[in-house]
Amino acid sequence: MRLFHVSEESDIYVFHPRKSDRDDMDKNVGLVWAIDEKRLPNFLTPRNCPRVTYHINSRTTQEDRQKFFSSPSVEHAVVIENEWYAKMKNTKLYIYEFDCSDFELQDDIAGYYVSKTTQVPIAKYIIDDLFDELIKRNVEIIITDNLQTIANEVKESSLNWSLCRMGYAKR
């Protein structure tokens, strides 16, 4: 297993645990967050880019495969609003890789892992072309004028999904 942190910051040398503001987590415990490689495409966008992401799981129906993917060979999609196209085209991301030995699974569907200890990355990768990186990972990229419809539809589907930064999405 490989674990990563994605950032627009190029110079992070140490990740210190930070307290979460999420209501479903202990707000007194500091954590370093990481994402597994399977769900890494969910974060290959500018930080505040609203997006709907989804991927196939063992319970995904054939109907949902046909409805949400344009090709049977694709199992992951990232949907962004068209106004984010230029920002995504011009954003450089830095992918920090961690030794996974101090991390524990926080959310299996989202692929989130957490550590209570300070982490030093074991590697850093630079992604200059986010669209190209998603294509290399066989991720379908969908650009739409508004995320609300697809967000509502995917929530009712048999897919695993994530809605990210939706506070920045059009209403």
User: What's residue 82's pLDDT?
Assistant: 96
Q: Report, as ranges of residue numbers, the positions in the chain whose pLDDT lies below 70.
A: none
User: What's residue 150's pLDDT?
Assistant: 97
Burial of 2 (C-beta count, 10 Å sphere; 0-12/13-18/19+): middle
Tell me the backbone φ, ψ of residue 162, rounded to 5 degrees.
Answer: -145, 135
Q: pLDDT tens digits, residue range 119-133?
A: 999 999 999 999 999
C-alpha 19/C-alpha 26 separation (Å) is 8
Query: Dihedral (C-alpha) 140, 143, 146, 149: value to the nearest 10 degrees?
Result: -30
User: What's residue 23's pLDDT?
Assistant: 78
Task: Convert 26-59 to b/e letters by CB count within 10 Å (16 or more is b).
Answer: eeeebbbbbbbeebbbbbbbbeebbbbbbbbeee
Q: Which two tokens stand for residue 170?
A: 């059009």
User: What's residue 103's pLDDT?
Assistant: 98
User: What's residue 28's pLDDT?
Assistant: 87
Q: What is the DSSP string of 31-78?
A: EEEEEETTTGGGG-S-TT--EEEEE--TT--HHHHHHH-SSTT--EEE
